[in-house]
Structure 1
Amino acid sequence: MTYSSSKRGWRSDKLSHLGSSIFSEVSEWKAEARRSGIEVIDLGIGSPDQAPALEIRQALSDAVLRENSYSYPASKGSGLFRKQAAAWMKWRFDVEVDDEEELVALMGSQDGLAHLALSICNPGDLAIVPDPGYPIYSGSLAIAGVKAWHVPLLEQNDFLPDLDSIPDEIWQQAVFILLSFPGNPIAVTADLAYMEKLIALAGKWEVLVIHDLAYSEMGFDGYRPLSILQVPGALETAVEFHSFSKSFNMAGCRVGFMTGNRQAVGALRELKSNVDYGVFNPVQEAAAFALELAMAGGDKLEVAPLYEHRRDVFIEALSLEGWSVAKPKATMFVWARLPEAWGTPGEVGRSRRFAQELLLKTGVAVIPGDAFGSQGERFVRIALVEEEKRLLEAARRIGEFLRRNR
């Protein structure tokens, strides 16, 4: 018997709303550039080019070699990992969380971001998310059947979400608001006063605040990112995601955690106990050891100085090539407005055309801003994930491209 998928192609319509299609497109552009004999400098995906500290790798290796490391892990995370994560929250932010009820281990923060809406919302509910924003923010809503209300991140507001612009009826309907300081793709920052206002509004409207703090250890120029849980009373109405991918160069290990409001943590734990069996125990051991090293004052674990230096070198080189770009205060990304001479004001698809032509003609891969939302149309995101000499070469190629395409 022959079976046909003609009814719907055996593909959920939700997949079209996950926001990952542009990354597949960029991969195709890279392949096309390589077929043309062009050497690609990939500043697209934000994957760290450094390895974890040797001590962390050794701890992982030792744990992997133990015979008793291969049982199913606890879906909520091992006691060791959760206790170390809670201790680190106290050390880093002076925030006390209950590791038994207010913290859950994750396969990277994206795991939790993808599943949280499923855990705390019903289909048809509404959530507030930023535009531009990391693709899984809106993608997770599509998976859960939740409606998105986008709060724009505008240049005239220094890309800080204008909380007063959110209508009362949206606050009244919303189950949660998801924001990130510093964010991806835009390294927007917020001070404690802003966070206090956010928590006050959320408390007034009974809205859960979700704070994505994946770049907590990537602040520059003396800036150290804040935890939303530093706001008094935030545990009543907020959760926060933390990742080891960028903070400890452990992206491939897939480990992170969510902490905060115990009802939301409990809901995510319950879902994940039915979806997966948690993070491989040796990875949790290595992550717990990384936190221990950080708390012991391990300066060599600090990732911020490397990316701050790369930021300075690259942006100065771009400026010398005629492209003036604002310096981010955090993260591994540069959010660059397209040069004034590029394209027609109001042109749809301008950032995508810029990224495609830049890659096919020079081999420099960047991500068009519209991949992160409609407000990103006039921008591209550039990841500082190459060594200094490669960043300088990328700037040189970009300069030649701009001069040829004025």
Structure 2
Amino acid sequence: MSTVGAEAEAAVADAFRQEWGRVVATLIRVTGDWDLAEECAQDAFARALECWPRDGVPRRPGAWLTTTARNRAVDRLRRTATEAVRLRELAALPGPEAQDSGAGGPGGVPDDRLRLIFTCCHPALSTEARVALTLRTLTGLTTAEIARAFLVPEPTMAKRLVRAKQRIRNAGIPYRVPPAELLPQRTAAVLAVLYLLFNEGYSATAGADLVRRGLCAEAIRLARCLAGLMPEQPEAAGLLALMLLHDARRAARTDDAGDLVPLEDQDRGRWDAGGIAEGVGLLDAALQQGRPGPYQVQAAIAACHATAARAADTDWPQIAALYGRLAVLAPSPVVELNRAVAVAMADGPAAGLALVGSLEASGALSGYHLLPATRADLLRRLGRAGEAADAYREALALTAAEAERRHLQRRLDEVSGRG
């Protein structure tokens, strides 16, 4: 391949990452047909691979792609001769020179993308459908790629996507940003989907790899998009900050063999200083709006870890206090478990073990592998090796992620005298 061809191909790949969601969102708005929008967007990118090496990369790639996809949709609708109104709307879209793919305002492409995010995450859809549809329409991942990411057969994921689109059509779910009185609730649903996506990539629940970088990258990209489109929503910036602060530690979370490295043992020189700086800056700006929410508090906890030069410098009392605040804003047993860990680090393992015992008695985290894993680590620190070994065995029986299993097995071998 020539240098020009390679550069054009790289430009198409970059445009796909940046513009797919924009192009699809615009076509869905004016056609109302999700499948048609995706097919015409695919055709536009295929056309770019043919034209850009010959004609050069256009000045506004997003505008070129949107117009090409629009023209393809016009051709498709013209052949059916049944969509006169939508055909007129498509024909009225501005051409590539008039359209700025980064422009805002009523009807602008970013507004279309925001509508698409909220439609994909409508509360009428199941959580699984929200995540799958968000990945398919906003990132352009194929059905096969999404299925692999969530470890389900491709036909299962295909049916899930079809059902989600049918639900939108049959239920008449509007393609819009919700009205002001519903925005806080609906924004929370969108943020929850993006955070679920990030967490599945950052700490895979099953499979050989602890971190699935592609999912993390897509979640961060979507969160960055949402934060840019909704600067008045501090929780959107808080979520982006949280993702960046966690992702900044990604390179040090596993060793060369793919085994998990505990936070206190990680090589902090491998942490991404730029990502940490950006995350802290976003968090500071969000907190200045004076409306702290769960994602901002979690980002503050992550910042405490990320800004400590050494593990011994970590401000555990502050982290424990932040978890106490989080338990008020977003109460959950998992938050209480994390608070127990922070209390153990601040006040000693016995104090943390008492909190873990209360959680176990409640039964709220029955079957959750991190509960016995936490108890095991606290018992190990207290020198109660036999009890720790039993707890490690319990945790091993509950987790499917291979990297975590290897870590738990090593701990079990240590307390059993085999390490």
Q: TM-score range by the shorter chain?
A: under 0.3
TM-score (ref. length: structure 2):
0.23
Largest Rg, 1 or 2: 2
Structure with a larger share of its residues in helix:
2
Structure with a larger share of its residues in strand:
1
